[in-house]
Amino acid sequence: MITENLNRPRAAIIGTGFCVPERVMTNYDLEKIVDTSDRWIVERTGIRERRIAADDVATSDIAYEAALKALEDAGIRAAELDLIIVATLTPDYLTPSTASLLQKRLGADRAAAFDLQSACSGFVYGAAVAAQFIENGFYKRILVIGAEILSKYINWEDRNTCVLFGDGAGAAVFGAAEDGSGILSCDLGSDGRGPEVLGIPGGGTRYPASEDTISRKVNRIHMDGRDVFRFAVKALPNTLKRSLEKAGMTADELAWIVPHQANIRIIEAASKRLAMPLERFIVNIERYGNISAASVPVALAEADAAGKFNKGDLIALAGFGAGLTWASCVVKWAK
């Protein structure tokens, strides 16, 4: 997927926003719940704290707040949106989609809406889908959101997973740009490895929710961390290399990389493999942990709000996660 034809519009990021729940759960709080330590978590993952949503907060609630900020940043009204895509593995309901709930709540009266499930790669998959609709002229303004409340799917007795995840939402408005800015190239993929490696096996049609699946915690996040780690240290640099190659660029031309925030050691490994200094990776894992589909857009929106990006900067976004999936894109910053 590459869009070299300048006569076609490109999908440019014209607004970003994010929302994280107020409640902070530190590693010290986790020490009281499972047999772990702040030292182990910081050394092995880079995470110091994460945000946890209140019991009565659902994914669409934080997605809504992130969307409002992104729309304000873009300077457009919800009614001007053509499409809303919500990337999430923790929707409010199995159906209707979280995107449809937001369409109504935002007042995006003429927008189509659907959810996209590609786990931690979801936001970048969503950006690639938005690019197709904008490049072929079908739509002009698309809101892509990555939003998760993973805390409701965490097995709080499993120290292997409960220390890793958090809640949050990030959003970006994509608009049709004719000045050469926007998404230049994308790379998407999946190897089809199932929930035995990473997933939430229960609650779907394979293992419908029942007293048995709930008591055995089959409806909670299950992960073979070492397997996913081995996958991720290759998948992240490899997908970035493919996106760069499709854009006809090399890593040293990038101003920033916004990677999925799963483990600081995975980001460090990517930095080495790409020979790109760690300082050029946007990293916020110490404060939010892994927020799956929200990790990339929260990091993007936070860095944008901090004024890190300049018009014309080349920025790569990259995710990897359950599926197992990977996704990356190279963006020329438009704002």
Closest CA to 195 of 221, 215, 171, 162: 221
The DSSP secondary structure of 59-73, one letter per residue, reads HHHHHHHHHHHHHHH
Nearer CB in complex with ligand ACO: 123/309: 123
Question: Is residue 263 at the binding interface for ligand ACO, with CB under 6 A as the rule?
Answer: yes
# binding residues, ligand ACO (CB under 6 A): 23
Nearer CB in complex with ligand ACO: 170/321: 321
Question: Is residue 158 at the binding interface for ligand ACO, with CB under 6 A as the rule?
Answer: no
Strands (E), the chain: 10-19, 24-26, 49-51, 83-87, 112-116, 141-149, 167-177, 182-190, 198-199, 222-223, 256-259, 314-321, 325-332
Least Cβ distance, residue 295 to ligand ACO (angstroms): 9
| Token pair belonging to 129 | 């889908």
Distances (CA, A) of 65 to 96, 100, 105: 19, 15, 11
**Residues 124 to 153 in contact with ligand ACO, rule: CB under 6 A:** none
Confirm if 73 and 173 have CB atoms less than 8 A apart: yes
Residue 52, CB-side half-sphere exposure with 13 Å CA sphere: 17
Nearer CB in complex with ligand ACO: 16/290: 290
**Residues 285 to 324 in contact with ligand ACO, rule: CB under 6 A:** 290, 292, 321-322
Per-residue x/- track, 227-256, ligand ACO (CB under 6 A): -xx--x------------------------
d(CA 81, CA 143): 7
Looking at the chain, how many residues does it have? 335
Least Cβ distance, residue 303 to ligand ACO (angstroms): 21
Catalytic positions:
120, 260, 290
Least Cβ distance, residue 49 to ligand ACO (angstroms): 14
| CB neighbour class for 114 (10 Å; exposed up to 12, middle 13-18, buried from 19) | middle
Q: Which stretch binds ligand ACO (CB under 6 A): 33-41, 96-104, 183-191, 212-220?
A: 33-41
Among 23, 29, 225, 335, binds ligand ACO (CB under 6 A): 225
Among 36, 117, 132, 190, binds ligand ACO (CB under 6 A): 36
DSSP three-state, residue 232: helix
Q: Which stretch binds ligand ACO (CB under 6 A): 70-78, 79-87, 220-228, 236-244?
A: 220-228
Q: Which stretch binds ligand ACO (CB under 6 A): 6-14, 135-143, 157-165, 169-177?
A: 157-165
Question: Is residue 226 at the binding interface for ligand ACO, with CB under 6 A as the rule?
Answer: yes
Question: Is residue 106 at the binding interface for ligand ACO, with CB under 6 A as the rule?
Answer: no
Which residues, 6+ apart, have CB-to-CB distance to 276 below 8 Å?
251, 252, 254, 257, 270
Q: Which stretch binds ligand ACO (CB under 6 A): 37-45, 72-80, 188-196, 274-282?
A: 37-45
Q: Report the sign of the C-alpha dihedral through residues 4, 6, 9, 15, in that order.
A: positive
Q: Which stretch binds ligand ACO (CB under 6 A): 8-16, 66-74, 75-83, 222-230?
A: 222-230
CA 310 to chain centre: 22
Least Cβ distance, residue 243 to ligand ACO (angstroms): 19
Confirm if 283 and 306 have CB atoms less than 8 A apart: no
Nearer CB in complex with ligand ACO: 41/108: 41
| Token pair belonging to 112 | 């189509």
Question: Is residue 120 at the binding interface for ligand ACO, with CB under 6 A as the rule?
Answer: yes
Site residues, ligand ACO (CB under 6 A):
36, 40-41, 44-45, 119-120, 159-160, 163, 198, 225-226, 228-229, 232, 262-263, 266, 290, 292, 321-322
